[in-house]
A and B are shown apart, each in its own frame.
Chain A
Amino acid sequence: MNAREQWVALGTIVRREVMRILRIWGQTLMPPAITMTLYFLIFGTLIGSRIGTLHGYTYMQYITPGLVMMSVITNSYGNITSSFFGAKFGRYVEEMLVSPMPPLVILGGYVTGAVLRGLLVGAIVLALSLFFTHLTVVNPWVTASSVLLASVVFSLAGFINAVYARKFDDIALVPTFVLTPLTYLGGVFYSVDQLPEPWRGISHANPILYMVSAFRDGMLGAGDIALGPAYAVMLGLMLVLGWVAITLLRRGVGLRS
């Protein structure tokens, strides 16, 4: 396939993914909007009003970047696992496997679709937050690049999960037992500076902490981690997971016999 044909193929996968997200908007866009509205109401308005300020921001302002990042991460991951595993389960992944598309185009198409859903949900949650608080964006580049990197990282992780999954339970296990705990312990609702040792040190092993911190730094200028290490972790994870994902796809693990 020449470059132009590869662009057509990539666009086809992305278009199909976007159509899927919009077709089942009640499953893809509505639930995070409702869940995050409840978070804003309960943690931000009801409980947050009694907490006071964190790094000079109201609790509601402080947790908003974390909740946006949490939505982006879970939706990017969830989109690619359900879509790619669904294609495996229904066997229509074979439509792509018997085509001349190189593995990188297949991976790129699915990751782009997952990132688009993550960012769309993130934008919805951000828009909803404006009903509850006033937000600023201190550094738009850090804000945009950190949310994009986090979305790519968890899209790649979700793709790897979907490649190995043999049944629907396998794509539910990681979000339930790994992703959700890491997100809740990743500084979404608090600053790790508030934690005593050894929990503060242990928290630094959680990659989501670096993503939430960088995004919060971009929006509020109040991150827990310096931007250098945060970007190093995100870029490092992206490269490692990208390499694993493309290797699995090239070898046909879970796809070709």
Chain B
Amino acid sequence: MTSAPALDIRDLRKTYPNGVEALKGITLTVEAGDLFALLGPNGAGKSTLIGILSSLVNASGGEARVFGVPVHARRSEAMALIGLVPQELNLNQFERPLDICINQAGFYGIPRRVAGERAEKYLRELKLWDKAEHSARMLSGGMKRRLMIARAMMNEPRLLILDEPTAGVDIEIRRSMWQFVQGINRAGTTVILTTHYLEEAESLCRNIAIIDHGRIVEHTTMRALLAKLDVETFVLDLAAHCPDALPAPEGIALRRIDEHTVEAELPRGRDLNGLFAALSAAGIAVRSMRTKSNRLEELFVRLTGPGKEAA
């Protein structure tokens, strides 16, 4: 059992009663100990997938196993291995953070004394201990998000699923949450993270899957994915009107953006002398130049952008 992957999903499907096909046969493996990013645009199927893993959504077909335990057939065993931080706030606003954490542990059958010790540990680590006895409704948005993480840690899960945990959280708190997540991952907890902050996935995660329209469109290591960015794009501001016909230097793609702007795409590491020589020969003067934002965001748009709709 110890060699089983943290998550093993085979041909997972979900069609809602209204006919919406949210998952169209997803196959995915997350190894034990990984810090894994699951990315996708809104409505791609991420939350449905997480809902199935946490048993809040019933799958229409396929199978998901957590450390070898089938989620549907052995729900109770599987749930004991998982901690979930959902995207939407789902706290009882009238309870105190300390009670919320202790009760959550109780739902997993953890005795009250142990639950109290764990609650203090995780509320302290997430800098909420001084708010432990306040009403949850008095907490700020960022504090509520951290409280949901503390709550998810009460059963000390082997697999922690964080569904956009840093949405709407300021950068300082976001970084402290990153540190916490990296810490528990180093301590052996497998982490699956969905986020819209692509730099978050890029800086935290070792492996990544991109989901779009209910299908996995990319599943690889972060390093391999970023290595696919073998081209760089520069934006050139021209001193005069851009001519209709642009030169075509070898290995460089030039695109007219507007009458004063041109984009140049060329292989990473290639010198720019050829580009400027060609532009000069065509009588095009460049006033300034900047690198177009790229890396993960660019890949994400390429993989999930318009025209990528799966059948």
Binding site for B on A (CB under 8 A): 1-2, 4-6, 8-9, 11-13, 15-16, 19-20, 23, 87, 90-92, 94-102, 252, 256-257
Contact = CB atoms under 8 A, between A and B. Distances in A.
Which 10 A-B residue pairings sit nearest by Cβ, starting from the closest?
A5-B109, A12-B106, A91-B90, A99-B107, A100-B76, A100-B79, A92-B92, A100-B80, A98-B54, A8-B109
Nearest to A252: B58
State the main secondary structure of chain B at its contact with A: loop
A95 B107 contact: yes
B58 A5 contact: no
B227 to A, nearest CB: 37
B90 A1 contact: no
Nearest to B82: A98
Contacts of A15: 106
Interface residue tally on B, bucketed by range:
20 to 34
Contacts of B88: 91
Contact of B79 (A13, A99, A252): A99
Most buried by B among A19, A102, A257: A257
Given A1-B109, A8-B112, A94-B90, 8 more contacts: A4-B109, A9-B106, A91-B89, A92-B92, A95-B103, A96-B107, A98-B56, A257-B57
Contacts of B92: 87, 90, 92, 95
A256 B107 contact: no
Nearest to A24: B94
Given A92-B91, A95-B90, A12 B103 contact: yes
Nearest to B51: A257
Given A92-B91, A100-B77, A8 B58 contact: no
B77 A11 contact: no
Interface string B99-120: 1000110111111100000000
A256 B55 contact: yes
A245 B104 CA distance: 23
Given A23-B94, A252-B58, A98 B16 contact: no
Contact of B107 (A20, A101, A257): A101
Nearest to B91: A92
A168 to B, nearest CB: 16
18 contacts: A1-B76, A1-B80, A1-B109, A4-B109, A5-B110, A8-B111, A12-B103, A19-B99, A20-B94, A91-B88, A91-B89, A91-B90, A94-B86, A95-B90, A95-B92, A95-B107, A99-B104, A101-B108
A135 to B, nearest CB: 37
Interface string B50-62: 0100111110000
